[in-house]
A and B are shown apart, each in its own frame.
Chain A
Amino acid sequence: MRKFVNNPNDFVPEMMAGVAAANPNLLEHQPEFQLIKRKDRPVAGKVSVVQGSGSGHEPAHAMAVGPGMLDGAVQGAVFAAPPVDACYECIKQLASDAGVLVLINNYQGDRMNWDMAVEMAQAEGVNVKSFIIDDDVAVKDSSYTIGRRGVAGNFFVIKACGAAADLGKSLDEVLEVAKKVNGQVRTMGVALSSCIPPVKGTPIFDIAVDEMEVGVGIHGEPGRRRDKTKPANEILDEMFEAVSGDGPFSKGDRVAVMVNGLGGTPISELYVLYNRAARRCEEAGYTIVRNYVGEYCTSLEMAGASLTLLKLDDELEKMLDAPAEVAARIF
């Protein structure tokens, strides 16, 4: 296994401890719950925004804790939702008088654990609400699935809700912001390789060197189809058409564009994709107001990328512009 691990079972705890160690003034790590929280939160009058999911998607979720972003996050084992207990502690410890908003990516494990934790916290009088993010267009919503998955669009929901909370908006108002972003954001990803959860030690699916998985999930779940690899522009074109064709996008729109690496793709390749994305947006009559090229929601060392489009308006642009800082900073 070409990985920097000690005991594979310690991978998540050691990673979380490292995040806190790198941000000693800002963050606190509680190993018993794999909780990363801001030391200066909760504060009176401000809604706390929290999240938690399986590990392996870094910088989501614990590394997205910081000013203007999440107030706290819990992570489970790689690709496994955190237990109810951890979710409950996350809510309880970050509960302010203004309340707590839990942002949940649409996976069954995440939903069940958070649902139980939210019920427990509500029973104790905590003002907590949750919201389900489902931006992935790859898997069609139908009676045969639990609906669309939540992927890189998660970043925009966090960013906007974090900004709204900083503005002193109420829990219901921050929840409305989450709904609005989720309604206007769409994502699809393509994988060129599998990934290896440290405890498993082997790839979670087989894919030949000349193959790609179109519409891959961030846990390696298959997407729309397996195909031969193509030139980057053709791959980007398919992602663009899937995403643009699904969302509420039309000529003249202002948009944010994200080209997100899945963990094993160099940033240079992401800019090759962005170059094409910018061209496609121009041709479609979309004005790119902000762009995001890098790793926001990954799948360990999976080679691949996703494209996200978010339709903007004055309110959302302000929220994307608002100051923020996260644990996984590069400046």
Chain B
Amino acid sequence: MSDITIGNVERAIKTTADTVLANQQYFSDLDGIAGDGDFGASLASGFRLIDADLPEIDKSSIGNMLLKISMIITKNVGGCSGPIWGTGFMRAAMLTKEKQEIGLADLEQMVGAAIEGIKARGGADLGDKTLLDSLIPIHEKLKEHAEKGSSPAVALRDAAEVAERKMEEAKALQPRRGRQSFVGERATGTPDPGMVAIACILQDWCEQFGVERTPQAKELTQRSV
């Protein structure tokens, strides 16, 4: 089944850029609690260019578009986020170089490939309190829906729900990898900024694609520290 078009993917990227740019200060403030306070600014430096370049980017296939996105991120972002987010987009791009449309099964594989790339690049895994603690359960949820033949809308709603719940659950964890690991137990009780970003992005995708979902966490509803 192919029900996600290249236009949908472009819109999702545009929405992601809007989310990252609108929440730049918020993400940096979250990072300042237990990290070094540059997460929002770092990510925004890449997505500002993506936002500007998106209309002109190569859209001959979903993969070619995502490859350009990954290159913009890798080239411009730096910090921890550049290699992590850039690698994720690049791995997803590799699976869709020939595709103009994808189904949930493709999307599930793209997210799976992105996760493997991110694990290899940063050396983190499930339970280390990084964005992988969101992406891995999201991937499982997508796989479940792909097997059931669900609609992308249902899968997106559930993915956003998983992202919000995992973000809440991970607050109690002590980070072992990623930028928060520098501070050890002092980060316990604070949300991981990367996980908050994933939850915000998915919630904004829901709104953009007309999927009804009401977030509960103040990290999503207030978007301020």
Contact = CB atoms under 8 A, between A and B. Distances in A.
A177 B186 CA distance: 36
A142 to B, nearest CB: 9
Interface string A291-313: 00000000000000000000000
B80 A204 contact: no
Interface in B57-80: 74-80
Contact of A112 (B42, B122, B176): B122
Interface stretch (B14-22, B31-39, B133-141, B195-203): B31-39
Contacts, number: 111
Interface stretch (A18-26, A61-69, A213-221, A244-252): A213-221
B179 interface: yes
Contacts of A271: none
Given A79-B37, A85-B75, A200-B41, A145 B184 contact: yes
A78 B41 CA distance: 10
A268 interface: no
A77 B76 CA distance: 10
Given A81-B80, A83-B75, A84-B82, A139 B182 contact: yes
Given A113-B83, A143-B176, A200-B41, A77 B78 contact: yes
A109 B37 contact: no
Main secondary structure of the interface of A (DSSP, over half): loop
Nearest to B71: A85
A108 B84 CA distance: 11
A78 B38 CA distance: 8
B32 A144 contact: no
Given A83-B82, A145-B176, A219-B182, A112 B38 contact: no
Contact of B74 (A83, A143, A219, A220): A83
B183 interface: yes
A109 B80 contact: yes
B42 A77 contact: yes
A219 B180 CA distance: 12
A307 B190 CA distance: 31
Contact of A77 (B38, B121, B123): B38
A112 B45 contact: no
B38 A146 contact: no
A77 B36 contact: no
B117 to A, nearest CB: 12
B36 A220 contact: yes
Given A145-B181, A145-B182, A149-B182, A200 B28 contact: yes
Nearest to B42: A80
Contact of B36 (A79, A83, A85, A86): A79
A204 B37 CA distance: 6
A219 B183 CA distance: 11
Contact of A80 (B79, B174, B182): B79
A144 B175 CA distance: 8
Interface residues of A, number: 35
Interface in B166-220: 174, 176-179, 181-184, 186
Interface residues of B, number: 34
Nearest to B82: A83
Given A144-B174, A146-B177, A219 B78 contact: no
Contacts of A113: 78-79, 82-83
Contacts of A86: 78
A149 B184 CA distance: 13
Contacts of A222: 182-184, 186
Contacts of A115: 83
Given A112-B121, A219-B182, A80 B176 contact: no
A54 interface: yes
Contacts of A82: 78
Interface in A148-199: 149, 197, 199
A78 B81 CA distance: 14
Given A143-B176, A146-B181, A112 B84 contact: yes
B38 A79 contact: yes
Contacts of A83: 74-78, 82
- Of A54, A80, A145, A146, the most chain B CB neighbours within 10 A belong to A80
B179 A108 contact: yes
A139 B185 CA distance: 12
Given A77-B79, A109-B79, A200 B178 contact: no
User: Which 7 residue pairs of A and B lie closest in terms of their CB atoms, listed nearest first?
Assistant: A80-B79, A112-B83, A219-B36, A83-B78, A221-B182, A109-B80, A85-B75
Interface of B: 28, 32, 35-38, 41-42, 45, 74-84, 86, 121-123, 174, 176-179, 181-184, 186
Interface of A: 54, 76-86, 108-109, 112-113, 115-116, 139, 143-146, 149, 197, 199-200, 202, 204-205, 217, 219-222
Given A77-B78, A80-B78, A83-B78, 14 more contacts: A80-B41, A81-B79, A82-B78, A83-B76, A84-B83, A85-B74, A113-B83, A116-B74, A116-B121, A143-B176, A145-B176, A200-B38, A205-B32, A222-B184
